[in-house]
Amino acid sequence: MVTVTNSTYVDEIERAETPVLMTCWAPSCKACLALKPTMEEIAKDRDIKIASLNVMESPLLAQRFGIMSLPTTLIMKKGSVIDRMVGAYSKAFIERKLGLV
């Protein structure tokens, strides 16, 4: 899992060779912390980049993507949002959504 910030976004997300599953989170969000192991499992099972965006540390990126609730997970391809999920979802649900990319 890579950490995304304002300064690393272009290299880590827009230039990524594979689709990216980017979770937007905050340290105080319990659901966000509960989602992390699910993302790590998905990273092991699929050829997809998993990214983590702390909205408290990178508020400009959170604003850019219209993040209003946490956790929000974006499915991205070449920097474009393909789909978004708001809330902590199961691995099976997320993997079904990944069928879009």
Assess whether 24 carries a catalytic annotation.
no
Domains of the chain by range and CATH? Answer: 2-98 (3.40.30.10)
Name the catalytic one among 13, 21, 24, 32: 32
pLDDT exceeds cutoff 90 at 67: yes
pLDDT tens digits for range 14-65: 999 999 999 999 999 999 999 999 999 998 988 889 999 999 999 999 999 9
Name the catalytic one among 2, 19, 26, 29: 29
Assess whether 29 carries a catalytic annotation.
yes
Which tokens belong to 67?
């993040």
pLDDT band at 70 (very low <50, low <70, confident <90, very high): very high
Q: Which pLDDT score is estimated for 47?
A: 84
pLDDT exceeds cutoff 70 at 81: yes
Q: Which pLDDT score is estimated for 45?
A: 86
Rg (CA), the chain: 12
Q: Which pLDDT score is estimated for 101?
A: 55
3-state secondary structure of 17: coil
Q: Which pLDDT score is estimated for 61?
A: 96
Which tokens belong to 100?
């879009």
Q: Which pLDDT score is estimated for 100?
A: 61
> Model pTM?
0.92
